[in-house]
Homo-oligomer: A and B are copies of this chain.
């Protein structure tokens, strides 16, 4: 890593923009902003800036624009693709939105909420619940991630099936552009078909086009009833068939449909040693329905499962008898992620294919790992209703980390090839960041690349916004 530093003059100008409390340039103070939540990446920066107002963000972007200083916008730092960590040359400044953390307005009559970008997702969920509303974005990182980061990365999670990605939940954005100009795209309107929908550009752009400073989201009625069941099936084919049947039988009330290969359960035991899955089958499904108060949701789910068992599609099923049991089912699903983290370095993917191609994806990926990387442990689980499989691979326990990382890159490349050969995506929900940038860019058609380059150049002509993330350097753009 090249060493860079800022001159005292520049540091003092930056301090002028964000105030004394808003600037950190010493190693110890910067440390927490330079490593990600999952512990996968560490990087460097010239300084960490923590603006205390939207006007501060504007002042600082004006200054960076004048100085030609590159900027990494940073939320809760819970991303998984090094989108907010500069692992390359450390010549950028990090702009953390954490001090912009106020909920500006909740309007339960219109089912809308406006918040600063730095509001933690859980805070927004809690505030919505206090008004008997639901903000449905649900992620493992929800206690740390920020709504601005959720918007910038188009976050997904376990309720996408019912409520959509972050993109589908956002009504408006407020953005400081690369030149420091403020764009206010809040409206409160459900429907506004007036020209280019500019907010769509910034959603999922991973900080490469501007800094999101405020987010306006849709709320929903808080479901009065939730029913959860844990199922055992014989195959992933059966799981796909079951999902399609559930879509028809359960109306639009399915809020989650997660599949878990039974090999994952051992991993969850790393977190909770006494944990056993409620069923023993090789493919397990966690299904959740939710609705308002006046629907016999329990009867709906029970009837659906009875039919599916009679037809042999489901081998075994446990319908949660209480909220506590439902939470226990979810803790198995969440334990997988925590269990992987406990194992240290591992290959983490976020593939998507057509739903009907899920069995082929898993079968080919397992065969690839078994034949090309014997000793590595393949895990398949994910949001089956979205076609999104996290096919992760753990290195053998005795393999030194450096070797595991080198080999892991090959494993990842092989898995990407399999997804692409099925017409799938290498990033269903985690985004591209720095860690998938090359594979992403290599996979684009020339026409697609030229359009991406044209948009980037149009909105950030100096290439100051999150350089190194998502796109190759400005000089090499087509």
A451 closest partner in B (C-beta):
B198
Main secondary structure of the interface of A (DSSP, over half): loop
Report the separation of the CA atoms of residues A278 and B444 in the bound assembly, to the nearest whole angstrom: 57
How many Å from the CB of A220 to the closest CB on chain B? 8
Are B193 and A429 in contact, CB atoms less than 8 angstroms apart? yes
Residues in B with CB closer than 8 Å to A430 are 193
Are B190 and A352 in contact, CB atoms less than 8 angstroms apart? yes
Are A295 and B251 in contact, CB atoms less than 8 angstroms apart? yes
Residues in B with CB closer than 8 Å to A421 are none
Tally of A interface residues using CB under 8 Å: 94
Report the separation of the CA atoms of residues A294 and B429 in the bound assembly, to the nearest whole angstrom: 32
- Tell whether A28 is near chain B: CB-to-CB under 8 Å: no
Residues in B with CB closer than 8 Å to A294 are 249-251, 300, 303-304
Spot the interface stretch: A88-96, A175-183, A313-321, A403-411: A175-183
Are B111 and A156 in contact, CB atoms less than 8 angstroms apart? no
Neighbour of A426 across the interface among B194, B220, B471, CB < 8 A: B194
Can you list 21 A-B contacts with CB-CB less than 8 angstroms, sorted by A residue number?
Answer: A109-B244, A110-B356, A183-B445, A183-B448, A188-B423, A189-B428, A191-B387, A193-B425, A195-B205, A195-B206, A195-B432, A197-B203, A198-B448, A221-B248, A224-B248, A251-B291, A251-B294, A251-B295, A252-B253, A296-B296, A454-B459
A interface with B by C-beta (< 8 Å) = 107, 109-112, 132, 153-154, 156, 160, 165, 167-168, 177, 181-185, 187-198, 200-201, 203-206, 220-221, 223-224, 240, 244, 247-253, 291-296, 300, 303-304, 352-356, 383, 385-388, 423-432, 440, 444-445, 447-448, 450-452, 454-455, 457-459, 470-471
